[in-house]
Amino acid sequence: MKILLLDKNHPLITEQLLAKNFVLEEDFTSSYDEVCHKIQNYDGIIIRSRIPLDKNFLEKGKNLKFIARVGAGMENIDIPVAEKLGIQLINSPEGNRDSVAEHVVGMLLILMHRLFIASQEVKNGIWKREENRGDELLGKTVGLIGYGNMGKATAKRFSGFGCKVIFHDILPGLSDEYASQVSLEELKQSADVLSLHIPLTSATHYLINETFISEMKKDFYFVNTARGKNVETKYLVENLKSGKIKGACLDVLEYEKSSFEHLENENDDLKYLLESEKVIVTPHIAGWTHQSKEKLAQVIADKIVEKFAR
């Protein structure tokens, strides 16, 4: 079985698949058109986010049996076309769920306890105590939207801080020892903290918009480690300015390039997010730890071997 690797990943993928007699070719630089020209020669692809696998691409891959994404999100793939063509889709959300969960809690603690602001002030000779009085997680209700791998790992962390954790998910019957499933309406009524753990689909594009925010009963903290386009940024900014959103922790932004390599444009809303003391921003690294790099690769290698090794 011949596999094309389009992005750099942990070397264990190559090592373990070669040991199982797969034939591997690495191509980390060719353009979309160049890869399209040769994709019919491969049985499988391993990707991250560099090249979009759209209808045109997939139809040229006449011999493709699988696409494996080293990560969770699959929005870079035309899933209905892939399924119609009988191409199996593999991803690895198990690999970076712990990294994401720790990042969520870490960002929120930094924001609520003003840790970065206070540290920078002291380093510049400014000693403020009352102005840097923090806000505790203990006793707060955390509302999660999405309760897959990321949501469950995040709920486990928050439960250890003495929070009440609730979640909404499109699948029923997911409550466990860490969180209780509720309707979206109940979540909007109760949450002090709102954290997203959902894919980007037509149903979740701009899920957090003017209407959604207005329906939140309490002023709340907002965390997004999912996808930037889950949020309509202009309304996020409006509500940060008004105080309806008390603060935001953003690992993803609406203005990211689809490959997540950099921001595509700048505007006044982005400028506000980057300058506001009410906002923590990181460069799409929630699932990006030394440990998750290896775990993501191991999950992918295991799934490919299980399904396709002879």
Render pLDDT for 171-193 as a digit per residue (tens, 0 to 9).
999 999 999 999 999 999 999 99
Residue 227 tokens read as: 């996808």
Q: Select which of 284, 294, 306, 310 is catalytic.
A: 284
Residue 27 has pLDDT above 80, yes or no: yes
Q: Is 151 helix (H, G, I), strand (E, B) or coil?
A: helix
Nearest to 99, CA basis, from 294, 292, 275: 292
Q: Are 46 and 9 in contact (CB under 8 A)?
A: yes
The pLDDT, as a whole number, for residue 222 is 98
Instruction: Output phi, psi for 180, to 5 deg.
Output: -115, 135
Q: Indicate which residue of 256, 277, 290, 310 is catalytic.
A: 256
What's the pLDDT band for 295 if we cut at 50, 70, 90? Answer: very high
Residue 71 gets the label, from left (phi > 0), alpha (psi -120 to 50) or beta, of left
Q: For the chain, what's the residue count?
A: 310
127: pLDDT strictly greater than 80: yes
Q: Is 136 a catalytic residue?
A: no
Confidence category of residue 115, pLDDT binned at 50, 70, 90: very high
Q: 3-class SS at 195?
A: strand
pLDDT for the residue numbered 226: 97
Of 49 and 234, the one with more pLDDT: 234
Has 129 been annotated as catalytic?
no
Question: Does 256 participate in catalysis according to the annotation?
Answer: yes
Chain center to CA of 229: 11
Query: Which residues, including other chains, have CB under 8 Å from residue 61's CB and lie 6 or more apart?
Result: 39, 40, 42, 45, 85, 87
**Average confidence (pLDDT) over 106-129:** 98
When pLDDT is averaged across residues 147-162 and rounded to a whole number, the result is 97
pLDDT of residue 257: 81
- R_g (Cα) of the chain, nearest Å: 21
CA distance 233 to 231: 6
* Residue-averaged pLDDT of the chain: 96
Residues 249-273: pLDDT tens digits?
999 999 988 767 788 878 999 999 9
pLDDT for 171 equals: 97
User: How far apart are the C-alpha atoms of 151 and 168, rounded to whole Å?
Assistant: 10
Distances in Å between the alpha carbon of 104 and those of 83, 139, 245, 251? Answer: 33, 17, 17, 9
pLDDT tops 90 at residue 310? no
Q: Region 49-72: what's the mean pLDDT?
A: 95
Among residues 197, 227, 232, 254, the one annotated as catalytic is 227
In the prediction, which pLDDT does 38 show? 96
Render 186-224 in DSSP notation, one character per residue: HHHHH-SEEEE-----TTTTT-BSHHHHHT-SS-EEEEE
Would you give the DSSP letter of residue 254? T
Domains in the chain (CATH in brackets) are 2-91 (3.40.50.720), 96-281 (3.40.50.720)
